[in-house]
Amino acid sequence: MTVSTKDTTALSDAELAEMADLCVDREPNFDIGFLSKQREDWVCLLYTSQREVDAKRKAIEAEKQRKIREIERRNQEELKRQERRDAEERKRLEALERKMHSKPYADDPEFLEELRRLLLETRSATNDDIVVMESEADEMLRCV
């Protein structure tokens, strides 16, 4: 926006009429007659054109819209990333759930029989350890 100064003696009637158009509809409601009389008392006039103001507002609004679009784009990207992470986590949990409930050796009787034999051996060894520990505990109690 460009603000210009002008000597009021060089102010044209068209420029004065434009000023009156701006002032007549709002406070302090100056009309062309009043402004014409005041022109003689003024020394300098500062003015800017409405086109420049509109162009500046339009540029500001365009920048604002660009920033809003950029924020929306980033939000959409983050939403997509979060959806991908959620989908991957769901897949991982589903695979874990399937693995927990799968019975890969249910149809392998040889494996199941070997597993049964190993468990029975472990049980037998544990029972033997219990018998030994109980006898040691009884022996310690008798010594006291």
DSSP 10: G
Q: For the chain, give the longest Cα–Cα distance.
A: 129
Residue 25 is encoded by which pair of tokens? 């509809």
- Cα 83 → chain centroid: 13
pLDDT in tens, 122-137: 999 999 999 999 999 9
Distance CA 31, CA 17 (A): 9
Which pTM does this prediction carry? 0.38
Pick from 114, 126, 72, 70: nearest CA to 134: 126
Pick from 20, 24, 15, 17: nearest CA to 49: 15
pLDDT in tens, 27-66: 777 777 777 777 776 755 656 666 677 778 899 999 999 9
**Residue extents of the structural domains in the chain:** 4-48, 60-102, 108-144
